[in-house]
Amino acid sequence: MIRTVAFFLYEDFQLLDAAGPIAVFEIASRFVAGGAYRIVLAAKEKGRVRASSGVELPVEALCEIETIDTLIVVGGEGARTAMACNETLDAVRDADRRARRLCSVCSGAFILAAAGLLDGLSVTTHWRAAPAFARQFPQVQTRADRIYIRQGRVWTSAGVSAGVDLALALAAEDLGEEIAKRVAQEMVVYYRRPGGQSQFSTLLELDSPDHRFASLLEKVRGRLDRRWTVEKLAEEACMSPRHFSRAFAAATGLSPAKAIERLRLEVARERVEAGVEPIEIIADRVGFGDPERMRRAFVQTFGVPPQGLRRQARGISS
């Protein structure tokens, strides 16, 4: 079965928001006899649309595409202007009624929200745009810490490269994990970052301008099953415990214990949402030891226990 994937473009869209996912569907089709996807570039009217980079692409009128399996609204600098255009919103609403799946990449979520298609859902967008999105659309639950989120037939993703993660997840749903994995290998990208993975790495967030504790934090992240006391950390850093604690807090903004807990939470969340290992094993391997201790940390940080995050990652309502 050939599935039509329509990318909705507008003036000053971000080229990579479209090009990345397009590459996923193009390559996936190579691995299926007879092909798998028909890719269509569309806009509110037929003609040519210019990306923010200046590249112009030919587009079809969205209203003239009879069959749409997946509608993907891309992001870009022009999203704010596009969301204020009634013709654009009407075209997206009409296409949504004909599509099996509705998706956005980056600030494309602004257009879907303005069209009233995200009310009551949890969605994500580019981290920089998330505060403005939350203020403008209080009826939508904004999750700025996610790479992509699935809510039934609606999928939203963070900025630029996250569109590739989204497209790989869509391809996996359509064609199976093995083909999606082969696509990722062909594109030389990770297969697949869990949708719930943060848009930022904790290591990057904790890094200081002088990178003073970068190698230590990398070592800790690789051996989270160890008992990392202040004394042990200070020994690794060739400092006294008291001096280490002060210097570490000044450089990262967190105490050593809090920083290690954040690293454990990040790795545990990735493993939980991957949906393979038992929760008890994850708790042990990332250093929480007691599953109940990990559960409390999850509830305090993410608002849900590990099993709740696993259900969300699988698209199962709790």
At 317, the pLDDT band (50, 70, 90 cuts) reads: very low
**pLDDT, average across residues 168-182:** 92
> What's the pLDDT tens digit per position in 188-212?
886 655 544 555 566 666 777 777 8
252 touches 208 (CB < 8 A): yes
Instruction: State how far the Cα of 294 lies from the Cα of 277, in Å rounded to an integer.
Output: 15
12 touches 82 (CB < 8 A): no
Percentage, residues of the chain above pLDDT 70: 93
**pLDDT, average across residues 247-258:** 92
Query: Which position has the token pair 């690794």?
Result: 236
Question: Would you state the pLDDT for residue 218?
Answer: 86
9 touches 47 (CB < 8 A): no
Amino acid code (one letter) for 119: D
**pLDDT, average across residues 62-74:** 96
9 touches 39 (CB < 8 A): no
Reported pTM: 0.67
**pLDDT, average across residues 268-289:** 89
Least confident piece of the model among 139-143, 174-178, 198-202, 249-253: 198-202
Instruction: State how far the Cα of 215 lies from the Cα of 236, in Å rounded to an integer.
Output: 10
> What's the pLDDT tens digit per position in 122-146?
999 998 888 899 999 999 998 877 7
Question: Would you state the pLDDT for residue 294?
Answer: 95
For residue 301, give the DSSP letter.
H
SS3 letters across 88-135: HHHHHHHHHHHEEEEEEECCHHHHHHHCCCCCCCEECCCCCCHHHHHH
Q: ∠ at Cα 276 (270, 277), nearest 5°?
A: 85
Question: Would you state the pLDDT for residue 28?
Answer: 97
Least confident piece of the model among 5-14, 184-193, 271-280: 184-193
SS3 letters across 160-174: CCHHHHHHHHHHHHH
